[in-house]
């Protein structure tokens, strides 16, 4: 089986990492894969270091209509059995059109839970033989918008748990972030964009940090809100205890050193960073939004709160900080959950099952 995969993102965020997991897993199952991505993208470099086949093809977003003939020519040259579109930013709609023109079965991965206009849904989703959602929450959104149930399959995202299963390098961690010896750190691992809800967390901090003088907050990630959040921190009374650490590629080393993770997102497809935190044995306080409850089980490996409810968020964080024994129990059960339900093998087999169903049924 030969599959062309299209990933349009420039950075190696959670979705692109899932594509790498999938490509390596499919290769181990004797599938022939070609990754198509924009020139200079981080995933192109990462894929090549893993010995994966890559073609760089210009893709400048939703209005780059020239991507359709470019991709169509590539498909005619490569003669794949199927094309798998992994991201938006032009790849979903334009890639679907190119696949339809080339007469090749097409699968779309959907990683976000934001609704789309009903008229747009009726047109767009006819392009795909199947849509693979990374959570049941996203699947429910598509069904509510009128996509036929038999065309939508949930295959949850995965995480390689092994790199996170180690003890904290405490001395290194304290030195890396210039923290005092007694520090307990809450982490936020998310792009600096409005829907990730950093402002809700910041609203809880004056009282929370007053009650727990050993607590510090580190926000990992980058995005358009950096200047705004940085200014809010600089103007706050707690500015010395909260920092923006930017994007880090060493989360496997960092996460085991966190006391907990806060994720007050208003919308979320699933949350790969939450899978990583759970794999590291870190308890989580998060919003009951999108696919988050599929990763964070309330009272089992963390605490869920209503999206945007700052009072509930403050209470949940207080509960986590006030009871280290309970927090540690959340962490242990989070590790078990990731190993049992979010393994890479399970994710790869799920995607491969969709491919074989489409090809075996003459496009189903």
Residues whose CB is less than 8 angstroms from the CB of residue 230 and which lie 6 or more positions away in sequence, other chains included? 244
Q: Angle between the 324-341 and 272-279 helix axes, to the nearest 10 degrees?
A: 110
Task: Check pLDDT > 80 for residue 72.
Answer: yes
Measure the CA–CA gap between 205 and 186, rounded to whole angstroms: 11
* Mean pLDDT, rounded, for 53-70: 92
Measure the CA–CA gap between 186 and 335, rounded to whole angstroms: 18
Task: Check pLDDT > 80 for residue 41.
Answer: yes
Task: Check pLDDT > 60 for residue 80.
Answer: yes
Q: In the chain, pLDDT over 90 holds for what percent of residues?
A: 87
1-to-30, 81, 154, 252 alpha-carbon distances in Å: 8, 6, 22, 33
Average pLDDT, the chain: 94
Q: Return the number of other C-beta atoms located less than 10 Å from residue 114's C-beta.
A: 10
Cβ 293 vs Cβ 184: under 8 Å:
no
pLDDT at residue 362 in the model: 56
Task: Check pLDDT > 70 for residue 363.
Answer: no
pTM here is: 0.85
pLDDT at residue 11 in the model: 81
Q: Angle between the 14-28 and 42-49 helix axes, to the nearest 10 degrees?
A: 30
Residues whose CB is less than 8 angstroms from the CB of residue 12 and which lie 6 or more positions away in sequence, other chains included? 42, 43, 46, 249
Measure the CA–CA gap between 10 and 204, rounded to whole angstroms: 33
Q: Where are the beta strands (DSSP E) in 112-212?
A: 130-133, 152-154, 184-189
pLDDT at residue 364 in the model: 47
Residues whose CB is less than 8 angstroms from the CB of residue 299 and which lie 6 or more positions away in sequence, other chains included? none
pLDDT at residue 2 in the model: 98
- All structural domains of the chain: 2-158+343-360 (3.40.50.2000), 162-341 (3.40.50.2000)
pLDDT tens digits, 111-167: 988 888 888 888 899 999 999 999 999 999 999 999 999 999 999 999 999 999 999
pLDDT at residue 91 in the model: 84
Q: Which of 257, 251, 233, 247 is nearest to 184 (CA)?
A: 257
Measure the CA–CA gap between 88 and 156, rounded to whole angstroms: 18
Candidate from 10-24, 211-225, 344-358 with smallest mean pLDDT: 10-24
pLDDT tens digits, 111-123: 988 888 888 888 8
* Mean pLDDT, rounded, for 276-292: 96
Q: Which of 119, 110, 111 is nearest to 151 (CA)?
A: 110
Instruction: Provide the residue count of the chain.
Output: 364
Q: Where are the beta strands (DSSP E) in the chain?
A: 2-6, 32-37, 54-56, 82-85, 106-110, 130-133, 152-154, 184-189, 215-220, 242-246, 260-263, 284-287, 302-305
């Amino acid at each position: 089986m030969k599959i062309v995969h299209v990933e349009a993102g420039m950075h190696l965020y959670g979705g692109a990492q899932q594509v790498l997991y999938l490509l390596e897993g499919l290769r181990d199952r004797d599938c022939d894969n070609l990754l198509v991505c924009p020139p200079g993208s981080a995933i192109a470099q990462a894929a090549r270091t893993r010995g994966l086949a890559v073609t760089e093809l210009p893709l400048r977003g939703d209005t780059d209509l020239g991507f359709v003939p470019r991709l169509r020519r590539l498909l005619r040259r490569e003669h794949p059995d199927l094309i798998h579109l992994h991201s938006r930013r032009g790849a979903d709609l334009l890639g679907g059109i190119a696949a339809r023109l080339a007469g090749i079965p097409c699968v779309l991965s959907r990683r976000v839970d934001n609704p789309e206009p009903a008229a747009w849904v009726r047109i767009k989703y006819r392009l795909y033989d199947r849509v693979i959602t990374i959570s049941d929450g996203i699947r429910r959104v598509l069904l509510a918008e009128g996509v036929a149930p038999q065309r939508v399959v949930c295959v949850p995202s995965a995480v390689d748990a092994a790199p996170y299963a180690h003890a904290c390098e405490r001395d290194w961690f304290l030195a890396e972030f210039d923290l005092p010896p007694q520090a307990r750190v809450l982490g936020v691992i998310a792009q600096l964009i409005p829907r990730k809800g950093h402002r809700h967390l910041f609203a809880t901090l004056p009282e929370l940090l007053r009650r727990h003088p050993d607590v510090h907050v580190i926000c990992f990630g980058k995005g358009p809100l950096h200047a705004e959040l940085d200014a809010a921190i600089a103007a706050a009374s707690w500015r010395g205890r909260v920092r923006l650490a930017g994007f880090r590629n060493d989360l496997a080393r960092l996460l085991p050193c966190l006391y907990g993770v806060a994720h007050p997102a208003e919308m979320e497809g699933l949350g790969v960073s939450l899978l990583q935190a759970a794999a590291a044995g870190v308890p989580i306080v998060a919003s009951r939004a999108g696919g988050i409850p599929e990763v964070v089980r309330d009272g089992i490996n963390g605490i869920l709160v209503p999206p945007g409810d700052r009072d509930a968020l403050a209470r949940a964080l207080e509960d986590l900080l006030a009871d280290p024994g309970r927090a540690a129990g959340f962490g242990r059960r989070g590790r078990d959950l990731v190993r049992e339900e979010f393994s890479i093998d399970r994710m790869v087999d799920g995607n491969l099952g969709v491919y074989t169903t489409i090809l075996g049924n003459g496009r189903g």
